[in-house]
Chains A and B, each alone.
Chain A
């Protein structure tokens, strides 16, 4: 399989990378090692660490940072931006619809079963329309590139996509370590993200709020692997970082406990999953939630971002219908491609997948983080057969996709510089406006040949540049 190299076309350096070539090629090894150590020390000092589930070991592990940036031209970015915003609009329209009249289902474009029997479909909010009709306020869209003008959406993250703090910190660290690179290149800034996020949250305050809205970030707590990000964003936005125990419901509003007594909360950017939000409505054993919160939400006393139930739009089975949503709600043709997807609950698809397991990528419908997936071409016969047995036990739990030829970007490795596979997650904000900052999080699979970029599976991160014109 051949891969699109983002920097080189044969021996020629592609335009956006032109100025980086000298920088890379003239960098002495010892200087590079020194800078790499400096970057690591900076990350550790700031405290950006990442706990990997189930691995034990160092709880303060760092996500490896690669100093070689990933670069987009303005024109490339404009197209991605249009495609992402289009998708974000369609996903919110879909959510509005399926918690309302369900037109897309009546029209026969999406099977009712996939929506209404979906685990993430939240019956308790049917008929509740959140402010501005926005359900998902921060959408992370995972993209891969296979050719100059070919981008595919791997998945949509409509609940609580993480990683944006890396986008911001990667940039900070690059600017601190290599200021001359930023003088020589005209790189669009990303540091307005926290302001945009705050404005987005304020713009969806509930109707009952008639003052400047009080926004908070709700975290599961400091043992959560993304806690750093929660506190980082709260700090940059100047809002309180709360845990469930800090909030309580009294009458028709939600309050936080402060040193000067109770203070009303209008918008909650929650970083905990639906089932933990309110023990009276969802899991009764949740220690993270706020009893009575859903009643306040349903009666318009507080906004929850993303809205409970938003997860039904980013499920891997629903994913296959996003192009349909774009046509149905917006009357437009999709700008970004979906990856061809076989759904294993269909007989034909099932047969095809089982015959070609060695060539495909198979994922669990509700899986995430790179767990519970099979990358056929990179797996041994035994691994494939073991996975086959899992599929046979519960076919409707899986989807399959062709193994994509993920583009590569030059990356600093032990021996110098070498191509490694990358993806891209931009973060789209939906409130009174739909906005995204020029950039995103580039994840890189650091193991040679690996196509899995998840940080839980040995992936690293890069700074992502969009050049201005």
Chain B
């Protein structure tokens, strides 16, 4: 497979995952606007969510006020925001267009339809749109693309590269979100049981589409330790760090098997090592070493794996 093709498939996966992240952010942001705005705390929620996607400065500068219109515009439509749904879908479709020969017609069709529909929505008067329809639009289209990938793509190297993109992006998004909110998860006597506290945890879970799943997994009240466990170490949770990393390793193993001895496997080796390090911990150990320190380490390791993928496969061996 051409290195450029692999690279585009990888980034297609990343951008589709990123579009979903943006849609969830939109959902959470909209919820925040529905709360009484006398509580400065809620505004901070929103800012920290934006920090996770690295765009809080841009929002403050360009929009300022946290209103539903501004949030929709920024998170969904704004092409100047590289993480907006529109930007991500456009980039994913562009990457797909470049490597069309590596996609099945169903995948291309789903990807292209999502972009055509996006353009239709962009032409509608904003007043006719509500936030729920925008998030539904995004999740339903990205799910269709993902479904088409899983149902129709050959299980070949291209499929591994797409899924590597998905996996690394997801791990990265969860880790970043946790990192900007890590202080909320630290057990602090004065907050326990206060409404604000529980609410903040819910925001995190919701931002990761995990608020219902959490209850199925743990039942009962939301506690900081369990939220962190669920999002970091619980292999049942689809967005947990360990799950995303496990899938990343699985796809790197697939590539290594397929390509054989002649091709370097430094990304696979590194990813295995990080996964083993994750598996060796429990949530108490992570709290003891410091949640922030742990997350910084993890984000750094992800970036190393990503660079190694680039070195091993995307430079064409020269």
**Interfacial residues, chain A to chain B (CB-CB below 8 A):** 44-47, 222, 227, 231-232, 234-235, 240-243, 245-246, 248, 256-262
Complex contacts, A262 vs chain B, CB 8 Å: 316-318
Say which one of B96-104, B139-147, B222-230, B269-277 lies at the interface with A. B96-104
Q: Which residue of A44, A47, A232 has the most chain B CB atoms within 10 A of its CB atom? A: A47
Q: Which of B97, B98, B316 has the most CB of A within 10 A?
A: B316
Q: Check if B259 is an interface residue, CB within 8 A of chain A.
A: yes
Provide the bound-state CA to CA distance between A182 and B40, in Å: 69
Q: How far is the CA of A256 from the CA of B1 in the complex (A)?
A: 10
| Complex contact B4–A231 (CB within 8 A) | no
Contact assessment for B157 and A259 in the assembled complex, using a CB-CB cutoff below 8 Å:
yes
- Among A46, A222, A231, A260, residue most surrounded by chain B Cβ atoms (within 10 Å): A260
Q: In the complex, A467 Cα to B229 Cα: how many Å?
A: 70
Interface residue B301 (Cβ < 8 Å from any Cβ of A): no
Contacts A44-B116, A222-B94; A259 near B101 (Cβ below 8 A): no
Check B100 against A231 for contact (C-beta < 8 Å). yes
Interface contact B3-A259, CB-CB below 8 Å: yes
**Contact yes or no, A257 B3, CB < 8 A:** yes
Contact with A along B39-71 (1 / 0, CB 8 A): 000000000000000000000000000000000
Whether A258 lies near B112 (C-beta < 8 A) is no
Q: Report if B132 contacts A (CB, 8 A).
A: no
Task: Choose among A222, A232, A243 the residue with the greatest number of B CB atoms under 10 Å from its CB.
Answer: A222
The 7 closest A-B pairs by CB, nearest first: A257-B316, A261-B317, A235-B101, A259-B313, A231-B100, A257-B3, A222-B98
Q: Is the interface of B mostly helix, strand, loop or mixed?
A: helix
Which chain B residues (111-153) contact chain A, with CB distance < 8 Å?
Answer: 112-113, 116
Chain A CB within 8 A of B195 CB: no
Which residue of A44, A231, A245, A256 has the most chain B CB atoms within 10 A of its CB atom?
A231
Minimum CB–CB distance for A64 against chain B, Å: 18
CB-nearest residue of chain B to A259: B313
A246 with B116: CB separation less than 8 A: no
Q: What count of chain B residues pass the 8 Å CB interface test? A: 29
- Does B108 belong to the interface (CB within 8 Å)? yes
Q: Is the CB–CB distance between A258 and B101 below 8 Å?
A: no
Q: Are A259 and B1 in contact (CB under 8 A)?
A: yes
In the bound complex, do residue B108 and residue A259 qualify as a contact, i.e. CB atoms below 8 Å apart?
A: no
Known contacts A246-B4, A256-B2, A259-B3: does B317 contact A235 (CB below 8 Å)? no
Enumerate 9 A-B pairs (CB-CB under 8 Å) in ascending A order: A46-B109, A47-B112, A246-B2, A257-B4, A258-B2, A259-B1, A259-B314, A260-B263, A261-B317
Residues on B with C-beta less than 8 A from A227 are 97
For the complex, give the distance between the alpha carbons of A43 and B119 in Å.
16
Whole-angstrom CA separation of A260 from B6 in the bound complex: 11
B315 lies within 8 A of chain A by Cβ: yes
B219 / chain A contacts, CB cutoff of 8 Å? none
List 12 other contacts, CB 8 Å, given A47-B112, A222-B97, A246-B316: A45-B109, A45-B112, A45-B113, A46-B105, A231-B101, A234-B101, A240-B5, A243-B4, A246-B3, A258-B1, A259-B2, A259-B6
Taking the nearest CB of chain B, how far is it from the CB of A99, in angstroms?
Answer: 32
A248 CB contacts on chain B under 8 angstroms: 318
CB neighbours (8 Å) of A47 from chain B are 97, 100, 108, 112
**Contact assessment for A260 and B318 in the assembled complex, using a CB-CB cutoff below 8 Å:** no
Once bound together, how far apart are the Cα atoms of A47 and B105, in whole Å? 11
B113: A residues at CB distance < 8 A = 45
Taking CB atoms, residues of chain A closer than 8 Å to B193 are none
Task: List the A residue with the shortest CB-CB distance to B101.
Answer: A235
Rounded to whole angstroms, the CA-CA distance of A241 and B97 in the bound complex is: 12
A241 in contact with B101 given A246-B3, A260-B262 (CB within 8 Å): yes
When distances are taken between beta carbons in the complex, the residues of chain A under 8 Å from B315 are 257
Q: Cα distance A337–B255 when bound, in Å?
A: 58
